[in-house]
């Protein structure tokens, strides 16, 4: 079993940027070579800025190369909760923004001819019980009435048209959700960026952002210093002591994935006959999809732990057992890949993006970063260049997580709480 993400293992690297010299000067430095950083770099370079992307590891090494590859519609907190929290008008605007973000991926794929299996295969949300099916009907009504947006609720008796299991009580299909090979997408963005003039420096950990007296920053890395006018921090769940203010506002939650061996076509068609991007409605959700080469990718918050080889192997055991519970006919399927990564959760599960002490940032995608990181990268580039941009999240309250100063000691407590909620909901 490989402990590397399937997506990175099956993507051709766009280049080897590990020895690219760190330039002495650039207009913009971006910390993090994930979707936020790479999209921001591409956009800024297309507007004529000189841009350097710095990453401690390699392109897509963070959550962008480790996720489920699902660009799914809707807000992380759901439209109903958003209306209660922010009022109808703002909530609907936020809802549309998330969907516009998927359009952004589609546009980038088209504009830069990125071969990354982007497909609007639809999102399938699965209910654990009849009460959740009822809630889906309410969501369907709300979406139709307030947003003129159409989703389909599937009752239990019809559910086999969508998924080959009796584990769930019903489901809701949103046709606009999409799947993407995120390894190929990340490397496609890197390639488009370098074509537009972006310098990518891998193995270059940023250790200090020192404000310069005349404005801008001296960005110190383990491979040299670059003086820049603007800095964008795009470190999501990997945000560390470089930016303590952001670290205290970001909860890095481990999420884990297994990928099976390639499966026979008839098994694939039994699992998800319409090839949807699926996730259930538990707090400790399972999410799954078919990969472009007919494997089942099955993920979840198997354990409330951070990712490490040992942790990933333990999670693989838990996920294999979960996969066999949902799809008993896969109990003898070989697992070829397992890995884990950090999801950038925030207290309110909303995106947080803006500028603080001259440093720009965007993170907090809370499990919706495939599209939101891509979208916000573009918006942050426009904003840094003083061009019209959209940032609906700029003025959201963004309190620190109480007691959070470094490694997230509180994860097991959150995990225990989520398990109790799932048992009794």
Ligand X SMILES: Cc1cc2nc3c(=O)[nH]c(=O)nc-3n(C[C@H](O)[C@H](O)[C@H](O)COP(=O)(O)OP(=O)(O)OC[C@H]3O[C@@H](n4cnc5c(N)ncnc54)[C@H](O)[C@@H]3O)c2cc1C
Interface with ligand X by CB under 6 A: which residues? 31-37, 54-57, 61-64, 66-71, 205-206, 234-238, 240, 242, 255, 257, 299, 341-344, 363, 365, 367-371, 373
- Is 6 or 133 the residue whose CB approaches ligand X more closely? 6
Shortest reach from residue 222's CB to ligand X, in Å: 8
Shortest reach from residue 366's CB to ligand X, in Å: 8
- Is 133 or 246 the residue whose CB approaches ligand X more closely? 246
- Is 54 or 263 the residue whose CB approaches ligand X more closely? 54
Shortest reach from residue 141's CB to ligand X, in Å: 26
- Is 133 or 223 the residue whose CB approaches ligand X more closely? 223
- Is 118 or 238 the residue whose CB approaches ligand X more closely? 238
Shortest reach from residue 199's CB to ligand X, in Å: 14
- Is 52 or 373 the residue whose CB approaches ligand X more closely? 373
- Is 133 or 206 the residue whose CB approaches ligand X more closely? 206
Shortest reach from residue 132's CB to ligand X, in Å: 20
Shortest reach from residue 76's CB to ligand X, in Å: 9
Residue whose CB is nearest to ligand X in the complex, by number: 369
Shortest reach from residue 131's CB to ligand X, in Å: 25
HEC assignment per residue over the chain? CECCCHHHHCCCCCCCCCCCCCCCEEEEEEECCCHHHHHHHHHHHHCCCCEEEECCCCCCCCHHHCCCCEECCCCCCCHHHHHHHHCHHHHHHHHHHHHHHHHHHHHHHHHCCCCCCCECCCEEEEECCHHHHHHHHHHHHHHHHHHCCCCEEEEHHHHHHCCCCCCCCEEEEECCCEECCHHHHHHHHHHHHHHCCCEEECCCCEEEEEECCCCCEEEEECCEEEEEEEEEECCHHHCCCCCHHHHCCCEEEEEEEEEECCCCHHHHHHHCCCCCEEEECCCCCEEEEECCCCCEEEEECCCCCCCCHHHHHHHHHHHHHHHHHHCHHHCCCCEEEEEEEEEEECCCCCCEEEEECCEEEEECCCCCHHHHHHHHHHHHHHHHCCCCCCCCCCCCCCCCCCCCCCCCCCHHHHHHHHHHHHHHC
């Amino acid at each position: 079993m490989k402990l590397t993400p399937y997506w990175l293992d099956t993507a051709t690297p766009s280049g080897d940027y590990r020895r690219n010299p760190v330039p002495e000067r650039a207009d913009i430095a971006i910390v993090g070579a994930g979707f936020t950083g790479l999209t921001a770099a591409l956009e800024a370079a297309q507007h004529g800025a000189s841009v350097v992307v710095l990453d401690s590891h390699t392109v897509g090494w963070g959550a962008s190369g480790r996720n489920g590859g699902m660009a799914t519609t809707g807000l992380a907190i759901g439209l109903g909760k958003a209306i209660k929290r922010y009022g109808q008008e703002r909530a609907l605007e936020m809802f549309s923004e998330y969907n516009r973000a998927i359009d952004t991926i589609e546009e980038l794929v088209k504009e830069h001819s990125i071969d990354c299996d982007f497909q609007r295969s639809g999102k399938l949300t699965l209910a654990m019980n009849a009460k959740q099916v009822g809630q889906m009907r309410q969501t369907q009504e709300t979406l139709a009435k307030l947003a003129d947006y159409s989703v389909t609720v599937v009752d239990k008796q019809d559910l086999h048209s969508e998924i080959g299991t009796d584990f769930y009580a019903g489901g809701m299909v949103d046709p606009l959700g999409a799947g993407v090979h995120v390894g190929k997408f990340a490397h496609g963005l890197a390639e488009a960026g370098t074509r537009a003039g972006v310098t990518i420096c891998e193995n270059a950990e940023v250790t200090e952002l020192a404000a310069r007296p005349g404005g801008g920053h001296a960005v110190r890395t383990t491979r040299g210093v670059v003086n820049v006018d603007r800095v964008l921090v795009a470190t999501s769940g990997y945000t560390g002591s470089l930016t303590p203010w952001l670290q205290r506002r970001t909860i890095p939650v481990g999420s884990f994935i297994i990928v099976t061996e390639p499966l026979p076509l008839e098994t694939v068609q039994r699992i998800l006959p319409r090839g949807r991007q699926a996730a259930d409605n538990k707090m400790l959700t399972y999410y799954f999809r078919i990969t472009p080469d007919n494997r089942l990718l099955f993920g979840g918050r198997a354990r409330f732990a951070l990712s490490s080889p040992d942790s990933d192997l333990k999670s693989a055991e838990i996920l294999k057992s979960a996969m066999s519970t949902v799809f008993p006919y896969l109990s003898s399927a070989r697992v070829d890949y397992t890995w884990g990564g950090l999801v950038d959760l925030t207290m309110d599960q909303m995106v947080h993006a803006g500028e603080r002490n001259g440093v720009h940032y965007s993170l907090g995608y809370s499990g919706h970063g495939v599209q939101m990181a891509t979208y916000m990268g573009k918006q942050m580039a426009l904003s840094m260049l003083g061009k019209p941009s959209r940032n609906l999240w700029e003025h959201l309250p963004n309190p620190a997580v109480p007691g959070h100063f470094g490694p997230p000691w509180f994860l097991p407590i959150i995990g225990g709480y989520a398990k109790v909620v799932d048992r009794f909901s």
